């Protein structure tokens, strides 16, 4: 079956989304996966047994629908290392494929404005996109973000980084992204939501791998 062709405006909108997310495949044989132990953190106490098992096996989980999602991944690395990866904007092009550049436009106090440029093929169309976000940081624990310029109608949310303990006492970092996103009027919402949800899991997997590499 042939894949559907997207028009140039739709492809650019979708690309802007995945460029910001930094989509990267998560290898099935990733090293440093969390051990299959029971997680004792209250932050994930409400998850199903299946979701907790996915986290323990090093997989990202994504819940939600229609542009409102919560994504989580468990990382066998220190909190400072995960923070370093998540805020290493200038080096995104080194560990996020298809990222041409990511520039820090302004950094004042706890607020950083970045611009990311990405190039890739989207449903057979070669497109380049740019997206600009403002990021407000609470050191080592949280980043609130919001699109201020780009091809989406809405993109905002936050990241949290917290240390959790698993029996028999191993410590990991739980990285969580809470996000709301809506496409522009030229992008079919069904296509957008599907790509967005898949991209969230891939992105957290990529961040996990980079944090493991730096540990």
Residue 46 confidence (pLDDT): 80
**Edge-to-edge, what's the strand order for the sheet holding 99-108?**
61-65, 68-75, 170-182, 154-166, 142-149, 125-138, 111-122, 99-108
User: Is the pLDDT score of 86 beyond 90?
Assistant: yes
DSSP state of 90: G
Residue given tokens 């409102």 in the structure block? 68
Query: CB neighbours (10 Å) of residue 169?
Result: 8
**How many separate helices (H) and strands (E) can be counted in the chain?**
5, 8
User: pLDDT category, 24, cuts 50, 70, 90?
Assistant: very low
Q: Which two three-digit tokens encode residue 66?
A: 């229609």
Given a cut of 70, whether residue 2 has pLDDT beyond it is no
Model pLDDT for residues 102-114, shown as the tens digit of each residue:
999 999 999 999 9
pLDDT at 94: 85
Q: Return the pLDDT at 119.
A: 74
What does the pLDDT average to over 194-201? 85
The answer to whether 168 touches 41, Cβ cutoff 8 Å, is: no
Segment 164-170 mean pLDDT? 74
Q: How many other C-beta atoms can be found within 10 angstroms of the C-beta atom of residue 40? A: 12
pTM of the model: 0.81
Residue with tokens 């449903």: 123
């Amino acid at each position: 079956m042939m894949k559907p062709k997207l028009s140039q405006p739709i492809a650019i909108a979708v690309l802007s989304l995945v460029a910001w997310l930094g989509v990267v495949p998560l290898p099935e044989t990733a090293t440093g996966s969390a051990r299959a132990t029971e997680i004792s953190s209250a932050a994930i106490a409400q998850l199903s047994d299946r979701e907790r098992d996915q986290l323990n096996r090093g997989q990202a989980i994504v819940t939600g629908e229609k542009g409102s999602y919560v994504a989580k991944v468990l990382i066998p690395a220190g909190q400072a290392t995960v923070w370093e990866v998540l805020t290493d904007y200038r080096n995104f092009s080194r560990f996020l494929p298809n990222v041409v550049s990511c520039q820090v436009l302004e950094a004042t106090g706890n607020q950083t404005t970045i611009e990311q440029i990405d190039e890739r093929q989207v449903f057979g169309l070669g497109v380049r996109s740019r997206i600009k976000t403002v990021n407000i940081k609470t050191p080592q624990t949280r980043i609130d973000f919001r699109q201020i310029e780009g091809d989406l109608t809405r993109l905002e949310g936050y990241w949290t980084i917290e240390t959790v303990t698993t029996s028999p006492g191993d410590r990991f970092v739980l990285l969580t992204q809470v996000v709301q996103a809506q496409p522009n009027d030229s992008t079919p919402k069904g296509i957008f939501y599907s790509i967005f949800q898949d991209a969230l899991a891939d992105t957290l997997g990529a961040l996990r791998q980079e944090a493991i590499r730096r540990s």
